[in-house]
Structure 1
Amino acid sequence: MNAVRVLIADDNPVVRAGLAALLTAQDGIEVVAEAADGRQACAAAAEHRPDVVLLDVRMPVLDGLAALPCLVPIAPVLMLTYSREDEVVRAAVRGGAGGYLVHGEFTADQLVGAVRDITEGRACLTTSAASALMAHTRARTPGRSLQSQHAPLQVQSDVAQSVSAGVDRARYGLSQREEEVMELITGGMTNHQIAAACFISEKTVKNHINRIFAKLHAANRSQAIAVWLGTVRGPVRHG
């Protein structure tokens, strides 16, 4: 089995050295390059073609968010930073980051696990990052806690929230759980990710999705999202 090849981008040399020492001590992980800013990270990624990029947010020359467009096409990007502001987390995920870990919210073993997971398409979020992304879902489903130390997510869009403002969704007749699942579908989650976020099985997720599609008169996710966001006219519930 080939080793997971990692690029570490952080402007703090002490942090870089610590991460490199931690990761290289693991079987099956190799640190192939380090970078002190976003521009160096882009150049190193193009040269070394890593399997994973660990990326800080606040760096000189070119910050992590600005570097995402050149890094994401090369390798999965795992944000590893002290920045926990909601808008920064959302911007990183919208930009294509596959995970977001905030220093102080994960253990060394969890970091190693996240590096391995992201290469297999399983993204990881620490608590404050998950809270930033799940805030609008919790607001729509009061009393439901979706906190998770490693809640896997893909991209969620603030644009979707603004488009859907004022849409009368009660007429679709979705249950509270079905509404919650539909919100996560709109956010770009896979069935596996929805199951993890809601603490239910993938089979249960599929059952919810089948019922959602029937109620929205949708044949697939794209059609369901269009109806849910109000970009196409949805069905009216009778009875």
Structure 2
Amino acid sequence: MTIKVLVADDHAAVRAGIVLILDGAADLEVVGEAADGEQAVAMARELRPDVVVMDIRMPRLDGISATRELAGVTDVLILTTFDIDEYVFGALRAGAAGFLLKNTDADGLVGAVRLVARGDGMISPGVTRKLISAFAAQPAREPSTRDLSVLTAREQEVLACIARGLSNAEIAGELDMAEATTKTHVSRVLGKLGLKSRVQAAIFYSESG
């Protein structure tokens, strides 16, 4: 199945390079290009791509705000030059499914788009270390399982697998169910808990004890 991608970046040359890389993959198709956040939101709502590859620093509407507006519409993969804490945490809180740096090679970018399109998360290794350090520095919180009670037993198993960083295919294999069923369970978990991404689900599970 062809993965439809929308590319949003305010630098025309950079955007053209990203499009060239993505269109070079047999299973990816760039269906639109946006030069700012407002245009990205409008085009995503119209074209319904599987993934939006989104820059952060853009005119009219920044990538984080655009990601927030697209929560529930499509998956967003942030692609930026900057791994500033404010951007990393802001993007993930807004519901980004992935956070990638522009020094990633072509294969890494294509692979990240495929992962996000499958419903998995993708974060650059350097950014992952930043997240781990920030999480470890937080004071311990009292565990709470109150919100987890809204999930069925199977959904709690899926959530635990998400927290371990397993992909949908890996969850399906571990829990002995179809990958399509896994994707449905993941969507239900996020919906019931009011979360926007797998990353948020993993953080929630860790904090819930």
How large is the RMSD of aligned CA atoms in angstroms? 3.0
Q: Is 1:46 the counterpart of 2:54 in the alignment?
A: no
Summarize the Cα distance change of 1:224–1:17 in structure 2 as closer, same or farther, 3 Å threshold: closer
The question of whether the paired residues in 1 share the 8 Å contact of 2:163 and 2:205 is answered with: no
Q: Which runs of 4+ in 1 moved over 3 A?
A: 136-139, 189-197, 221-226
- The residue identity in structure 2 corresponding to 1:20 is V
Instruction: Give the superposition deviation at 1:137.
Output: 3.9
Distance 2:206 2:164 in 1: 19
The question of whether the paired residues in 2 share the 8 Å contact of 1:76 and 1:119 is answered with: yes
Classify the secondary structure of the residue corresponding to 2:122. coil
Identity of aligned residues (%): 38
Q: Is 1:195 the counterpart of 2:164 in the alignment?
A: yes
Whose relative contact order is higher, 1 or 2, with alpha carbons under 8 Å and at least 6 apart? 2
Instruction: Give the superposition deviation at 1:45.
Output: 0.5
Gaps of at least 5 residues in structure 2 are 144-157, 176-201
Instruction: Give the superposition deviation at 1:224.
Output: 8.9
User: Which string of whole-angstrom CA distances, capped at 9 and with x for unpartnered residues, describes residues 34-60 of structure 1?
Assistant: 001100001111111100000000001
Classify the secondary structure of the residue corresponding to 2:164. helix
Residue in 1 that maps onto 2:153: none
Residue in 2 that maps onto 1:118: 116
Residue in 2 that maps onto 1:134: 132
Instruction: Give the superposition deviation at 1:72.
Output: 2.2
The question of whether the paired residues in 2 share the 8 Å contact of 1:5 and 1:52 is answered with: yes
User: Which string of whole-angstrom CA distances, capped at 9 and with x for unpartnered residues, describes residues 67-105 of structure 1?
Assistant: 11222221110000012111210110011000000111x
Q: Is 1:15 the counterpart of 2:19 in the alignment?
A: no
Classify the secondary structure of the residue corresponding to 1:27. coil
The question of whether the paired residues in 2 share the 8 Å contact of 1:100 and 1:124 is answered with: yes
User: Which string of whole-angstrom CA distances, capped at 9 and with x for unpartnered residues, describes residues 121-152 of structure 1?
Assistant: 2111112221222113444xxxxxxxxxxxxx
Pairs aligned (count):
163
Q: Which has the larger radius of gyration?
A: 1
